């Protein structure tokens, strides 16, 4: 008995002594898009602490940010990302197709279609809302100027066009009317910046336009940074659920011996603590029921359509709206 207890104690002591020796330094590369910078900075620190407590290993997550499509192409061209956290499902699909390092059914790998956080498209207007912009149909009024990035170069801006389209289709009842609506809307766009941050600058710093179509989280950040005395958020009656996608690039993670940690890194995004962090960064949490309602109060209530049920998924929406000769190109066809 005594011998056995001693043996156990010895084994535990040995195990404890051995633990620091076995502690590994793991590097993880998360290739993401632009506006997640602040969120992942905080999340990486939290995750490193958690992982250290759980396994004793040190994990350093490196971040790469840029336009979502550009980031996807970088991974396709060989950037050794362990996880991708991009703005569009379509971009992750391209990585899966182009590298074969992500399984084709990656969307099912994590809850909520692999979208741990979502956002939506809202309006940022100048303080006092001088043009009385309440909903999408106010945006096609003559002489009104709308600022939104080029959906061809900005993955995030594709949601803007789809949100407007969904609104018009619901309100006027036909695809033709919806096409006509978005055509009128883009006629009111004086500048098509190449990225979302560029459009924010055009609206905020250059003073151009009456309304900026923005991701909700970006709109909140803009107000935080520039002061609520200059701008305000208008939540339209209907918008689209923007679902950024996350996936483990299994081929790369395996190569780096980081499969377990990469999976845990993404799974951990769904825990209550992470969901709270997400809400604090103005993204809508995928599991709002786990988050303090006081934090959720900041998000305006509105009807949300989503890409799967209302547009048949990205694989259909992408070529139809944003492909060569698609609906966006038709808007600018001369004589249209």
- 293 counts as binding another protein under rule CB under 8 A: no
Tell me: does residue 131 bind another protein (CB under 8 A): no
When asked if residue 225 is in the footprint of another protein (CB under 8 A), the reply is no
Task: Kindly state whether residue 330 participates in binding another protein, applying the rule CB under 8 A.
Answer: no
Which one of the spans 135-143, 201-209, 212-220, 291-299 is the region binding another protein (CB under 8 A)? Answer: 201-209
Among 153, 183, 268, 306, the residue binding another protein under the rule CB under 8 A is: 153
Establish if 145 lies at the interface with another protein (CB under 8 A). Answer: no
Quick check: 226 binds another protein (CB under 8 A)?
no
**Positions in 7-46 near another protein (CB under 8 A):** none
- Which residues from 244-273 bind another protein, rule CB under 8 A? none
Kindly tell me which of 190 and 228 has the beta carbon lying closer to another protein.
190
Binders of another protein among residues 53 to 92 (CB under 8 A) are 67, 69-70, 73
Q: Which is nearer to another protein, 36 or 188 (CB)?
A: 188
The answer to whether residue 322 forms part of the interface with another protein (CB under 8 A) is yes
Residue closer to another protein (CB basis): 198 or 251: 198
Residue placing its CB nearer to another protein in the complex, 146 or 269: 146
CA distance 215 to 198: 13
| Residue 329 contacts another protein per CB under 8 A | yes
> In this structure, are strands 211-215 and 231-234 parallel, antiparallel, or unpaired?
unpaired
- Binding residue (CB under 8 A) for another protein from 109, 208, 226, 302: 208
3-class SS letters over the chain: CHHHHHHHHHHHHHHHHHHHHHCCEEEEEEEECHHHHHHHHHHHHHHHHHHHHHHCCEEEEEEECCCHHHHHHHHHCCCCCCEEEECCHHHHHHHHHHHCCCCCCHHHHCHHHHCCEEEEEEEEEECCCCCCCCCHHHHHCCCCCEECCCCCCCCCHHHHHHHHHHHHHHHHCCHHHHHHHHHHHHHCCCCCCCCHHHHHHHHHCCCCCCEEEEEHHHHHHHHHHHCCCCEEEECCCEEEEECCEEEECHHHHHHCCCHHHHHHHHHHHHCHHHHHHHHHCCCEECCHHHCCHHHHCCCCCCEEECHHHHHCCHHHHHHHHHCCCCHHHHHCCCCC
CB of 328 to another protein, least distance (A): 9
Nearer to another protein, 71 or 235 (CB): 71
Q: Residues binding another protein: what is the number (CB under 8 A)?
A: 27
Query: Of 56, 111, 173, 190, which one interacts with another protein (CB under 8 A)?
Result: 190
Pick from 91, 102, 40: nearest CA to 65 = 40
220/321 with CB nearer another protein: 321
Contacting residues toward another protein, per CB under 8 A:
67, 69-70, 73, 94, 150, 152-153, 155, 189-194, 198, 201, 205-208, 322-324, 329, 332, 334
């Amino acid at each position: 008995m005594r011998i056995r207890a001693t043996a156990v104690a010895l084994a535990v002591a040995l195990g404890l002594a051995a633990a620091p020796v076995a502690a590994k330094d793991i590097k993880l590369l998360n290739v993401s898009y632009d506006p997640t910078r602040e969120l992942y900075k905080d999340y990486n620190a939290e995750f490193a602490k958690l992982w250290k407590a759980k396994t004793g290993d040190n994990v350093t997550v490196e971040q790469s940010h840029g336009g979502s499509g550009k980031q996807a192409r970088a991974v396709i061209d060989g950037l050794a990302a362990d996880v991708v956290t991009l703005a569009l499902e379509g971009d992750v699909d391209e990585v899966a197709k182009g590298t074969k390092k992500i399984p084709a059914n990656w969307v099912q790998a994590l809850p909520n279609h692999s979208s741990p956080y979502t956002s939506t498209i809202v309006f940022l207007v100048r303080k006092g809302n001088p043009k009385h912009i309440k909903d999408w149909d106010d945006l096609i009024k003559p002489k009104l100027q709308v600022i939104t990035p080029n959906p061809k170069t900005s993955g995030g801006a594709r949601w803007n066009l789809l949100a407007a389209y969904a609104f018009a289709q619901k309100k006027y009842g036909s695809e033709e009317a919806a096409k006509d609506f978005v055509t009128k809307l883009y006629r009111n766009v004086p500048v098509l910046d190449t990225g979302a941050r560029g459009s924010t600058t055009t609206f905020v710093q250059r003073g151009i336009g009456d309304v900026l179509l923005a991701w909700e989280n970006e709109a909140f950040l803009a107000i935080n940074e520039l002061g609520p005395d200059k701008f305000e958020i208008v939540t339209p009656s209907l918008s689209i659920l923007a679902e950024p996608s996350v996936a483990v690039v299994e081929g790369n993670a395996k190569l780096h011996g980081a499969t377990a940690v990469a999976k845990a890194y993404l799974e951990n995004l769904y825990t209550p603590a992470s969901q709270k962090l997400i809400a604090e960064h103005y993204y809508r949490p995928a599991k709002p029921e786990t988050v303090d309602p006081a934090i959720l109060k900041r998000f305006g209530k509105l009807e949300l359509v989503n890409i799967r049920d209302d547009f048949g998924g990205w694989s259909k929406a992408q070529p139809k709206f944003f492909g060569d000769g698609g609906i966006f190109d038709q808007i600018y066809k001369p004589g249209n």
